[in-house]
Structure 1
Amino acid sequence: MSPTSAAATESPWPRSEPAGLTPAPEQLQLRESLRGLLGKHSGIEQVRAAADTGPGYSPRLWQMLVDEMSVTTLAVPEHNGGLGYGTAELAIVLEECGRALACEPVYSSAVLGAHALLAAPEAEDTPLAEVLAGKLIATVSALDPTTDDLRATTGPLGWRIDGTVTDLVGGGSADVVVASAATADGLLLFALRPPENTRRTERRVLDSTRRRADVTVHDCPAVPLTAPDTTATTRTRLRDLATLALACENTGIIDHLLEMTIEYTGTRQQFGRPIGSFQVVKHRLADLLVSLERARSASRYAAALFAQDPDSARLAVAVAGAVCTEAAVHAAEEAVQLHGGVGFTWEHPAHSYFRRALGNEAAQGDARTHRARVAALIGV
């Protein structure tokens, strides 16, 4: 057997349909409840207004998502204070947040922050309980440690960290930062609680509904979440979770853009008939529908597989990243164009979705990046 064939044989190929792929009644109810809540409190004007506030989101809506929809505890094991569901249910939350373009810290805190803190479930001094309760907002900058410059030392007062975390999602208002830092024993993952006088430099970003900042800390108390031999594995799983989360969010974005565009082309008249009746427009809408179904299939399958075993889901996650990223950007471009002259104004909602799609692409890589991961996993 050739090396390439051997690598392909050892790749994490799915063996059967994962449990949770077919929606259960409670999952349909979760989706309906979330859509109703976000439809009432996260319209496009509400999103834009919340994004311009100090924290960059609506604290009221965030607390409703935590208290009424349990977004922080949904996919957390029961023995850690969660509800014990999996990423299949979390995928529903992320899809609906993408549809509504919600700017609340679901992706950064409820998904990445909470699951990063679960890397040290035995540690009693982590802020996991406060993050799950929504009282503290967490964010993660541990996926590519080469972008950060953090150094950690330990002494009588415990671990202390100095340096700068760059391009941190929600970094301007985050209470807890999870990041990789260099130690004498190697790279470790830490949970930091930056003090009030921490220097936070807001970045100029394309997507104002998901702000980013650089955070500089000095002698900041920190709690280690990993050991030198587990840091790489934990970071890889978090990267896969981040890719999956944005794939699900992109699926929701495509869904809303297609719905919005069908409604517009069905009412906009030209030459005495709706433009949606023209064959060229029908074909473009049909292509968008195909893209949506491909994205749904890829993201939901990856989420169901990830719930069973994150390591065996790596290939499915990479496929979902490639399919959903490309489809979201394409859907946003088509929505802008098919809305005609009004679609090319920045004030139109399509542009906010376009910016989020491009921001997601920048955060976890474009379709080519994910396809390269697919190729590496299957040994091509």
Structure 2
Amino acid sequence: MAAAGPTFEELADRAAELAQLRASADAVLARAWSASAARDLLDTAGPAYEPALWTTVVELGWPEVMVDADAGGGGAGVRELCVLSEACGYAAAGLPLAATAAAMWAEGGCADGIAVVLPQPGQLAAGAVSGSWPAVAYAQVAARLLVLGDDAGTPVLCAVSASAPGVRRTPVVPIDHNPAANVEFDGAPCTLLAEGEEAVRRHREAVRRMMLGEIAELVGVAAAANAAAVDYAGTRVAFGKPIGTFQAVKHRLVDQRADIEVGRALVARAADAVDRARPDAAAIASLAAFWALDRLVHVPEGAVQVFGGIGYTWEHQAHVHLRRAARLAMSLGGRAAHRGVAAGWLHGLLAGERA
């Protein structure tokens, strides 16, 4: 007999807890950050990254949200990470939250400094890792890099200190100017975290959690861009009327809002599936990623069109959301691959199978 699902009261309580978390995150970020501050960083010679803002969220325990309470973490799940990531996206706060939270979950404990999970495997020999990874987001400022290696046929998950010998980081400038770098390991010493099937499982789950956090951030970016366009459409007058009264503008904004809500719902569904270790978690996560690549990434583009000429100027903050959305989309992998996974799962459901 199948286990009973949560009751309506439990679902309502859960929704209230998540709403309270989002309100708290929005309040913190509103005091500490703004899209204008993100735009100003793009004018500097360095990367668009504010260490003081990262210190603020670290002090609040956001990167440790998925670490077990017994290990000093928040004891929460992917759903909470996605709520915090969406808040960061809405505030245009470019932070390595999803990457570090996923890495800490894989490490099974809290550790100082930014960490990044490298999605592609490397080679391991005699306790040292070799490999190369292009344009890794936030790699310039990372303290640790987690990688799945292959040691004579045995999968091994290990952590590499960014300052270790054999580690080379070459700064690159992505479209959102985050502190990214090309990463190369040439016999870099590492710390063993897991091996065998457990290493594969932990790496796969960490990458999936990071991906869902980034999709949630993209939901926030899209929501902020659309909200700004709605405000502008209510005040910008053309031919004696606010442009928001014109059907073409009105329909675009409503359609974009619908895309955002669908994306938010898919992220929530995928996060719950991962937290409950459901067999369809990978498929639902790919469905959320496909929606992000197919629909959400275009919302900031549509917002820029609503702004018209002013939206194309450097002084306007619309391009902050546009740049961030484009970079997040690039991190999600191939659209066709996610579409294939999601389509196969949906076909199975229609055929009466269970993925």
TM-score (norm 1): 0.81
Q: Deviations over 1:243-267 (max 9, x none)?
A: 3112211111121111100000000
Please tell me whether the aligned partners of residues 230 and 244 of structure 2 are also in contact (alpha carbons under 8 angstroms).
Answer: yes
Match of 1:151 among 123, 130, 135: 123
- Amino acid aligned to 2:80: E
Matching of residue 87 in structure 1 with residue 108 in structure 2: no
**8 Å Cα contact 2:104-2:110 kept in structure 1:** no
Aligned twin of 2:55: 63
Counterpart residue number, 1:3? none
Counting matched residue pairs gives: 342
Residue 175 to residue 34, structure 1, CA distance change in 2 (3 Å): same
Q: Name which of structure 1's ranges 33-42 and 360-369 shifts more when overlaid on structure 2.
A: 360-369
Alignment correspondent of 1:205: 174
Q: What is the root-mean-square deviation of aligned Cα atoms in Å?
A: 2.6
Q: Which residue number in structure 2 is paired with residue 6 of structure 1?
A: none
Aligned to 2:333: 365
Distance 1:337 1:275 in 2: 12
Tell me the amino acid that sits aligned with residue 204 of structure 1: V
Q: Who is 1:136 aligned against?
A: 113
**Judging changes above 3 Å, is the alpha-carbon distance between structure 1 residues 286 and 378 closer, same or farther for their aligned structure 2 residues?**
closer
Please say if residues 102 and 207 of structure 2, whose CA atoms lie closer than 8 Å, have aligned partners that are also in contact: no
Change in Cα spacing, 1:221 to 1:21, as seen in structure 2 (3 Å) is farther
Q: How far off is 1:162 after superposition?
A: 3.7
Report the residue type matching 2:90 in the other structure: R
CA contact (8 A) 2:292 2:329 kept: no
Query: Which 10-residue stretch deviates more, 15-24 or 72-81?
Result: 15-24
Whether 1:239 aligns to 2:203 is no
Corresponding residue SS for 2:86: helix
Q: For the residues of structure 1 that align with 2:252 and 2:87, how far apart are their CA atoms?
A: 24
CA-CA distance at 1:97 after TM superposition: 0.8
TM-score (ref. length: structure 2):
0.87
The 1-side partners of 2:18 and 2:170 are apart by 40
Candidates 173, 176, 182, aligned match of 1:214: 182
Whether the 8 Å contact between 1:250 and 1:325 is mirrored in structure 2 is no
Deviations 1:244-295 (A, max 9, x none): 1122111111211111000000000111111111122111111112112211
**Structure 2: which 5+ runs fail to align?**
349-355
Asked whether the 8 Å contact 1:185–1:228 carries over to 2, the reply is: no
Q: Is the 8 A contact 1:152 1:161 kept in 2?
A: yes
> Is the Cα contact below 8 Å between 1:257 and 1:332 reproduced in 2?
yes
Larger CA deviation: 342-351 vs 313-322:
342-351
Return the alpha-carbon distance in structure 1 between the equivalents of residues 333 and 176 of structure 2.
Answer: 16
Q: Which residue of 1 aligns with 2:352?
A: none
Distance 1:18 1:216 in 2: 50
Q: Is the 1:18–1:304 Cα contact (8 Å) retained in structure 2?
A: no
Q: Secondary structure at the match of 1:225?
A: strand
Summarize the Cα distance change of 1:48–1:234 in structure 2 as closer, same or farther, 3 Å threshold.
Answer: same
1:194–1:220 CA contact under 8 A, matched in 2: no
Residue in structure 1 matching 2:229, options 246, 251, 261: 261
> Residue 190 of structure 2 aligns to a residue in which SS?
strand
The amino acid that maps onto 2:123 is R
Extract unaligned runs of 5+ from structure 1: 1-14, 119-127
Bigger relative CO (Cα 8 Å, ≥ 6 apart) = 1
Q: Deviations over 1:177-235 (max 9, x none)?
A: 10122322333221001327743101231221x33212234443211222133333333
Question: Residue 49 and residue 180 in structure 1: after superposition, are their counterparts in 2 closer, same or farther (change >3 A)?
Answer: farther
Identity %: 28
Secondary structure class of the residue paired with 1:320? helix
- Alpha-carbon contact 1:73-1:82 (below 8 Å) kept: yes
Asked if residue 329 in structure 1 is aligned to residue 297 in structure 2, the reply is yes
